[in-house]
Amino acid sequence: MHKILTRSASFGRNALKNASLKSAASFASTSASSPHPTVYFSGIQPTGVPHLGNYLGFIEQWINIQEIAETGTSLLVSIVDLHAMTVGPTKPTKARADIREMCAGLLACGVDHEESTLFQQSDILEHTQLAWFLGSLQTITKLQRMPQYKDKSKKFKNGQVPLGLVNYPVLQAADVLLYKGTHVPVGEDQTQHMNLLNDLAIHFNAVFEVDYFPIPKQVCGNHPRIKSLSNPKTKMSKSDPSSLSRIEICDSRNVIVKKCRRAMSDNEGNVTYDPIKRAGVSNLLTLYAAFTKRPIPEVAKQFANSSTLALKDELADVIDERFEPIRHNYHTLLGHTARIDDILDYGAERAVVIARKNIAEIRKIMGLK
């Protein structure tokens, strides 16, 4: 498989290894200081309606970036449907619905499809082509050490793990590098994947003796990892079978109140912030602080003499206040699926221009053209 990168006999396995060892550090330094145009890239899986964790963990951050981005900065956000099938295929009708719901959610929250190139990953074939090229610079052993692989592979019996799950981080790297991304807004749980992405960029530059790929910077948001309402030891996720574990952007006020009141807390009468001993209450305080844009200690002091029920009701109020216009926009958009499809097609038309140009340059660098 390493022959995919062969330009001549000298670019065999030993040359590839030696180039990496002798030049990785110098190319990392060179790339970091090179004047690459600023490109923000991020992807979000089409898990249907975005939930509170998606909103605070990614969408709100992206909107802030969108508002402060300087002239000349490129913003690309992809609905990464190829990543969604790494653990197995989804029924076609559900797959299409999930993509549209995620797109509608992003737009309803404030992602501007004119300022941000919003597109569906699988519409751009160059993503998988670059992933194949980058795969020649990576080993199965290293990929199997990635935390996401270790976690998700446990769900498959007798070693029946899909190839896509192993290759997930390489495709993720291709998503960013295809557009020569310089900044990647992702959570802290993606740090190891970012390290692998950077290693691939450095390795490619070293092997082919170019300064082509920038070394992307991880951009973490201001909020800690958003936890499940029913089990604050795990992150909020659409894969949780209980709908009470998460609040979705289209939930009505009554549903938000219900979910907040049923959120895990404890039997202590007062409210204190202690993530170890009082994980449930601390999770609620974290959410309240995030929605009111205030420090957690200040919020904890505010509720020090309150009951957990009072905290839950106050939390429901601030969430509903933020989500009320969003859910209105969401339902309006979802009533016009042709419009959603047009927006994704428009984004794909913009993205493919960049992708084709860059993949042509990459193929030329590799001697494939």
Strand partners, 44: 79
For the residues of 20-69, what is the DSSP string, one character each? HHHHHHHHHHHHHHS-PPPEEEEEE---SS-BHHHIIIIIHHHHHHHHHP
Catalytic residue, candidates 235, 258, 277, 301:
235
Q: Which tokens go with 196?
A: 């692998």
Token digits for 293? 């844009």
- What are the CA-CA distances from residue 24 to residues 15, 20, 208, 216 (Å)? 13, 5, 11, 15
Three-point CA angle 237, 242, 247, nearest 5°? 55
Residues 107/66, Cβ–Cβ less than 8 Å: no
Whether 238 sits among the annotated catalytic residues: the reply is yes
Nearest residue to 98 (alpha-carbon basis) of 83, 113, 125, 79? 79
CA atoms within 13 A on the CB side of 132: 11
Q: How many CB atoms are located within 10 Å of the residue 200 CB?
A: 23
Distance of CA 198 to the CA centre of its chain: 16
Indicate which residue of 22, 91, 152, 364 is catalytic. 152
Candidates 91, 238, 277, 301; catalytic one = 238
Q: Which DSSP letter does residue 73 get? A: -
Is there a catalytic annotation at residue 293? no
Q: Note whether 209 and 365 are within 8 A (CB).
A: no
Residue 127's φ and ψ, nearest 5 degrees, are -60, -50
**7 residue type, one letter:** R
Q: Say how many C-beta atoms besides its own lie within 10 A of residue 146's C-beta.
A: 19
Catalytic residues: 152, 235, 238
